[in-house]
A and B are shown apart, each in its own frame.
Chain A
Amino acid sequence: MSTTHNPRVHLSPVRWCFGIILLLCALFTAVPTQAAQEIRFGDMYSGASTRGLILSDRLRSLDGSEVTMSGFMAPPLSPTIRFFVLTEWPMSICPFCSSDAEWPDNIIVVELDKPVTALPFDAPIRVTGRLSLGSRVDPETGFVSLVRIHARNIDA
């Protein structure tokens, strides 16, 4: 990570500074806050069938809520694109270049207000934002998504 033009993307040292300040604030003011719920890739589905994947109760209950997920950013289709795919493991192939069948089942589409350019693909990132469920086709790319996070904050 070198620099970023996107103020929503926090660099690690900055993130830690913010984190410590926020933590101190939280400790000293003791104001109850609604923390983002952590979701892991393993939490997404409660069942697998080729008639359709079954979203877990936990994931369903968090639809519309603030969540946090850690994963890897798959290389985006173009630098200006307003979403990217978060995967459990780093992607080896350029999945947009080959067919959709190459994507794992458990992927998250991370929607952005502005394109991000300076995130690593080979190190984990943490995405925080509002969870939204349900099939959707991206009008620009035709990419089909099921689970999305509208990013409020991305930590690299």
Chain B
Amino acid sequence: MHSYFSRSLLAAAIGLAITLPAAATAADFDGSARRSVYVNPAAHAEWSQAQTRHHQSAERTGITILPIDRAKFWQGQRFDFEVEIAATDLTDVRITLNGKPIEQALGGRLTRTVHDDYTSLRIDNVSFAKTGPVTLSVSAVSPTGKYQRTVTYNVVREKAPKKAKNVILFVGDGMSMQVKQAARILSRGITEGKYDGLLAMEQMPAMGLVTTSGYDSIVTDSANSASAYNTGHKSVVNAMGVYANRTPDPLDDPKVENINEFMQRTRGMSVGMVTTSAVTDATPAAVSAHTRRRAEEPFIAADFLAEMHRPDVLLGGGARSFLPLSTPGSKRKDETNVIAAFENAGFTFAENREQMLAAPKDKPLLGLFTMSHMNVYMDREFRPNPDVTKGFNDQPNLIEMTAKALDHLSQNPNGFYLMSEGASIDKQLHTMDWQRAVYDAIEFDQAIAYARDWAKAHGDNTLIVVLADHAHGLSLTGTYHENDGKTGREGVRTYGAAGWPTFVDNNGDGFPDNPDPRVTLAFQYANFPDHYENYRFQAKPTAPAIVGENDKIIANPYRAPQGARYIEGNLPQYLETQEVHSADDIVVMAEGPGSEYFHGVMDNTEIFFGIMRALHADPKERVQ
């Protein structure tokens, strides 16, 4: 990184030299003569710390420390500690916490494992008993050299002015600001430039901007971001509830305790997850699970029942990870019947909407309504299409699932934590089907509207937090219509010619009556594979691109067959068959006790701290 910065500075200096008059001398480029530059002392201090950080990186020092530098912990939050040093013949290994040997400071014993080209030192299931800053230093000697690295942690415990009994976290998967806005346009309407109303989530008083990157990459995925919300720690793409160590085993990575585990352990709160995806998919899974690899869904399904993080309500799709191998539709590799295991643990099992609504609220509830992800609002409810739902014709919607979960979870006097996810906003943006995504965003907003009214009617002591987990690159360019015979790119209307789309909601259900009006939105994508585009609603969900000859990704010939225009992709041709996540910041909106925490620009791990602060989470508390 350092050499990169040096090169950048050099490049900037050369650039400046070229643009300045010939009379300028080298002395002008030492910084002092550049009057347009303003770096105040605080910014300079941050720059200086970043330089040190880059010098002290895992790559440069040969020492990976997990949890990572600048990790923040809730007081008493349990975690596994692991250090990987890039040598196998180490002597004189010293690890200290605020100057004290780590075994003494944290309790427990360091386990040393020598791998092919590195050494791991690990202590499991420890926590910080006190709040405040922590300096952690690692040093070791090998015949080839010395290893030395220092990182800092922060341990906190805060209390919101008013304590929240319950927390509902709504995750609109992939719901970028632009998608939320499209939901507002379609659901609420706009007249003479003023919206006829705001979405329920937008009416909440607290709002902030959230950055989404994990610790491995600028672009995140749903596992990584849900992990940040649930643990307060960053992770890597495809991982949840863990830091990623170097072993290939996806189940041995150092864990961090999540809200679910902490609040069940200390307060006996109830926990629920409802989603329109498979319940084992990344966002709901991250409320409970710890794995480097989100695709370990059969493991995640069975692991839900582990007592330390067992939910009381679990609703969504994904039965294929619960059924024994011999049952048609199963994707397990063993004969474990996880549905039966839930039933043996006292759960009611609901396989459709009717059974879910009838489930008694004094028992925990597992509802699995499809084999894989649930169908989207458009195909399951708005224009029910048996050709798409394929026999799973009685799926509940997210509003009903959220309401049912609230009925159950609110039985617990200790309060509850509910995660409710609009999962297919993301899945439909991946397949470049913004209409289906926006209908799901409206369904998601109605679930929020229900929860807000529920919270007001039930003691007004519930914190509601709404946010996406990452964005997608698409933006409103204007409108599209063919009223004058122009089609394709000529039918895209910009600036004054755009006018207004003609979505109407005559029955007042919050959803436009026709997803494909004469004048629709020109909602254009920033990244895409080769595909056909006709700017119109597709009667059936259809992938934009498929794998063609020699594994080259090509436009799907079955997509937008009438009058579609071929658009050459701007993503790697042998890699991406779908639109991909963007690193754009997202918005968090909040209401209820503790919601004042959610403002300004926030790191995604701060969602966890905002929730723990609202709950007055206390490691000394014990279940009564």
A135 touches B558 (CB 8 A): no
Q: CB distance B297 to A99 under 8 Å?
A: yes
* Cβ of B372 under 8 Å from chain A: yes
Instruction: Enumerate chain A residues within 8 angstroms of B328, measured Cβ to Cβ.
Output: 45, 52-55, 135, 146
Tell yes or no: A20 within 8 A of B by CB: no
Please give, as numbers and ranges, the residues of chain A lying within 8 Å of B351 by CB-CB distance: 49-51
Shortest distance between the CB of A146 and any CB in chain B (Å): 5
- Chain A residue contacts of B546, Cβ below 8 A: 90-92, 121-122
Q: Quick check: is A31 within 8 A (CB to CB) of the other chain? A: no
Determine whether the beta carbon of B368 is less than 8 Å from that of A50. yes
The 0/1 profile, CB within 8 Å of A marked 1, for residues 412-446 of chain B is 00000000000000000001000000000000000
B199-255, CB < 8 A from A = none
Knowing A48-B392, A105-B371, A135-B325 touch, does A90 contact B558 (C-beta < 8 A)?
yes
Q: How many A residues, CB 8 Å from partner? A: 35
Nearest CB in chain A: distance from B189 CB, A: 33
A51 touches B390 (CB 8 A): no
Tell me if B's interface is mostly helix, strand, loop or mixed.
loop
B547, A135: Cβ atoms under 8 Å? no
Q: Are B325 and A144 in contact (CB under 8 A)?
A: yes
Tell me the complex Cα distance, A52–B328, Å.
5
Pick from B320, B325, B352, B558: contact of A101, CB under 8 Å: B320
Contacts of A7 on B, CB cut-off 8 Å?
Answer: none
Q: How far is the CB of A116 from chain B (nearest CB, A)?
A: 13
State in angstroms the CA–CA spacing of A45 and B297 once bound together.
24
Q: Which residues of A contact B323 (CB under 8 A)?
A: 50-52
In the bound assembly, the distance between CA atoms of A146 and B326 in angstroms comes to 8
Contact indicator B297/A101 (Cβ below 8 Å): yes
- A48-B391, A50-B371, A89-B558 are known contacts. Are A135 and B321 too (CB-CB below 8 A)? no
> Within A95-125, which residues are at the interface with B (CB < 8 Å)?
98-106, 120-122
Given known contacts A51-B339, A100-B295, is B548 in contact with A120 (CB within 8 Å)? yes
Of the listed stretches B127-135, B266-274, B329-337, B480-488, chain A binds B329-337
What per-residue 1/0 map shows which CB atoms of B321-359 lie under 8 Å from chain A? 111011111111100000100000000000110000000
Distance, CA A135 to CA B330, complexed state (A): 8
Whether A93 pairs with B390 at a CB distance below 8 angstroms is no
Q: Please, which residues of chain B bring their CB within 8 A of the CB of A53?
A: 328-329, 371
Shortest Cβ gap from A92 to chain B (Å): 3
Given the complex of chains A and B, what is the CA–CA distance between A91 and B577 in angstroms? 9
The answer to the question of A26 belonging to the interface, with a C-beta cut-off of 8 Å to chain B, is no
B contact residues around A101 at 8 Å (CB): 278, 280-281, 297, 318, 320-321, 331, 372-373
Among A90, A121, A135, point to the contact of B327 (Cβ < 8 A). A135
- CB of A80 to closest CB in B, whole Å: 14
Find out whether the CB atom of A92 lies under 8 angstroms from the CB atom of B545: yes
- B557 CB–A CB distance under 8 Å: yes
Q: Tell me, rounded to whole Å, the shortest Cβ–Cβ distance linking B328 to chain A.
A: 4
Q: Which residues of A contact B368 (CB under 8 A)?
A: 50
Residues from chain B with a CB closer than 8 A to the CB of A75 are: 547, 551
The answer to whether the Cβ of A47 comes within 8 Å of any Cβ in the partner chain is yes
Q: Closest Cβ of chain B: how far from A128's Cβ, in Å?
A: 23
Q: 6 pairs across A/B with beta carbons < 8 Å?
A: A53-B329, A92-B543, A100-B331, A106-B390, A122-B554, A144-B331
Spell out A's residues near B (CB within 8 Å).
Answer: 45, 47-55, 75, 89-94, 98-106, 120-122, 134-135, 137, 142, 144, 146
The 9 closest A-B pairs by CB, nearest first: A48-B391, A92-B543, A99-B295, A50-B319, A90-B546, A53-B329, A52-B327, A53-B328, A100-B331
Instruction: List residues of chain B with CB under 8 Å of any chain A CB.
Output: 278, 280-281, 294-295, 297, 318-323, 325-333, 339, 351-352, 368-373, 390-392, 431, 542-549, 551, 554, 556-558, 577-578
